[in-house]
Structure 1
Amino acid sequence: MADALKKDRSAIRLAPMEVPKASDVLANELRERILTGEFTEDTPLPPERELVTQTRMSRSTVREALRILEVQGLVRIKAGRAGGAFVQRPSKDAVETSVSLVIRGQQIRLAALLETREAIEPFCAQLAARYRTEDDLKALDAANEAITDTGSTLAAFLQANVDWHVGVATASHNELLIGLMTALSRAIYTATENERFINDEVRRLTAKAHVSITRAIRARDPEAAVRRMNRHVHSYAQAVLEVEERTEISVPNGT
């Protein structure tokens, strides 16, 4: 009987278990309280020594948890006698920062960036046509004026292009779309900062398309804004990717 019981017990198997780090547990707890509004903006967290006493965690664990929250933009650390850790809410730039880090960290392909813009920006234009303000239109007009300057440098043209695309997203008055489009536009700027992608014909067609789309946004015509933006971003993506493909083909041949 004893041998049978011993055999049954030895047959029991448990799967490997992952135990979260203590610093992650503390950071998660504080993060949840900040995001739910329990800890309001500018609220000072207890001093490090008190957090150690309250949580019964080591000082190094508490410090690591606070560093995690600082990197995530949920606390700011001030030095000095009146210093410490203070709660801060995620800023409006948090989406842009996070998306930019993913794009750079994962080395997202230019084709993927352009595909994402094709999926998102026409809807931005639709919202912009509905919700734009006079200030939004002024920003778009200023960017268009800079884009049509035939004597501008490539860098100036690309910056004006970014300003216009971000301006359309801003006119949508949707915080998430603004963050996404700002990150995308700047990443595309960086990826196409080369004369082989942007020539005089591309500049001319870009300026023409932007003026047309801006006109639809000004007229509060969502359907026209979507249609024209669709055509513009698709044509631009095709032109850029054709140049990239030709370049990749020519490199092995030494031409």
Structure 2
Amino acid sequence: MATNGESASSGGEAPSFRVPKTGELVAQRLRARIIRGELAEGDSLPAEGTLIEEFGVSRPTLREAYRVLEAEQLISVRRGARGGARVHAPSASAAARYAGLVLEYEGATLADVYEARTLVETPCAALLARRRTKHDLKLLWESVEFGESLADDRPRLIRHHTEFHALVVRLSGNHTMNLLNGILRQIIDTANYQRVDTDPGGAAHDAAFHHGLRAHRRLVELIEAKDADGANALWMKHLVEANRYLLELPGATTVLDLLD
């Protein structure tokens, strides 16, 4: 009688399946506890001896599990008498770093990344206009007013611009879009700081940033009015103009260039 593997491959070699190492299985169990919230940000994992007894594994196997979770940035391990493993909540930063490596390898241009940012942020502005709460409006107006107070402080104003954009996406309530935005933002922020820092300034620079502040204020007005179509159109126009301005500045043209 033919085995399942033989019949599935019509007489060829049976498909091979990789059996996870014991350390990976232990990491999987601990990871599940973090994801479910049984272990929260800042908690310490139980002592090594306790986990060794619970899982029935050796110390080297447990430390292999620790290395897996460290690579995923779900724990950090301190050595020594007062050391131990401390838990970290999942964040977009680990995904952003790996996505950045893939984009670097593929030779992605900054124009490509900026375009993706536009496609993520624009519908979020419309979503926020439909769903906004009084608390959302409070946060948005505070951000707008704070940004306007920074009109003559270039470094802080640059950071405020990126933070306002991130706030719009976060308040939209779409967790998937927020994750995608977090991945893109790590690349975009690096590019923006580099490009604007090399810009000598002048009237064009000042006009671009003041225009951006006006767009922020107008967006919040549209969100407050629950004008989703207006918010969508305004934010698309603002992002396209911002992308054009940033790409005209000297500096990196590909994601890989940002590392040079």
Deviates further, 153-162 or 52-61? 52-61
TM-score using structure 2 length: 0.69
Within the candidate set 179, 196, 204, 2:210 is matched to: 204
2-structure distance, mates of 1:232, 1:238: 10
Structure 1 position 226 matched with structure 2 position 232: yes
2-structure distance, mates of 1:178, 1:19: 34
Deviations 1:94-128 (A, max 9, x none): 12x23432355444642233122111101110121
SS in 2 for 1:200: helix
Structure 1 position 102 matched with structure 2 position 98: yes
Structure 1 position 214 matched with structure 2 position 220: yes
Structure 2: which 5+ runs fail to align?
1-11, 254-260
1-structure distance, mates of 2:163, 2:33: 36
2-structure distance, mates of 1:202, 1:191: 17
The number of aligned residues is: 230
Flag the 1:197–1:240 CA change in 2: closer, same or farther, 3 A. Answer: farther
Assess if the C-alpha contact under 8 Å between 2:76 and 2:88 holds in 1: no
Structure 1: which 5+ runs fail to align?
1-11, 249-255
Deviation of the 1:53 alpha carbon:
4.9
SS in 2 for 1:224: helix
Q: Looking at CA atoms only, which structure, 1 or 2, has the larger radius of gyration?
A: 1
Match of 1:173 in 2: 173
Deviation of the 1:222 alpha carbon:
0.9
Flag the 1:71–1:126 CA change in 2: closer, same or farther, 3 A. Answer: same
Match of 1:143 in 2: 143
Assess if the C-alpha contact under 8 Å between 2:27 and 2:69 holds in 1: yes
Assess if the C-alpha contact under 8 Å between 1:165 and 1:185 holds in 2: no
Assess if the C-alpha contact under 8 Å between 2:132 and 2:172 holds in 1: yes
Deviates further, 193-202 or 12-21? 12-21
Please tell me the residue identity of whatever aligns with 1:216. Answer: L
Match of 2:3 in 1: none
Bigger RCO of structures 1 and 2 (CA < 8 A, at least 6 apart): 2
Assess if the C-alpha contact under 8 Å between 2:151 and 2:210 holds in 1: no
Deviation of the 1:129 alpha carbon:
0.6
2-structure distance, mates of 1:180, 1:229: 18
Please tell me the residue identity of whatever aligns with 1:172. Answer: S
Match of 1:90 in 2: 89
TM-score using structure 1 length: 0.70
**Percent identity over paired residues:** 27
Flag the 1:115–1:78 CA change in 2: closer, same or farther, 3 A. Answer: same
Deviations 1:149-205 (A, max 9, x none): 575232121112022112212321233433443453453232122243971221132
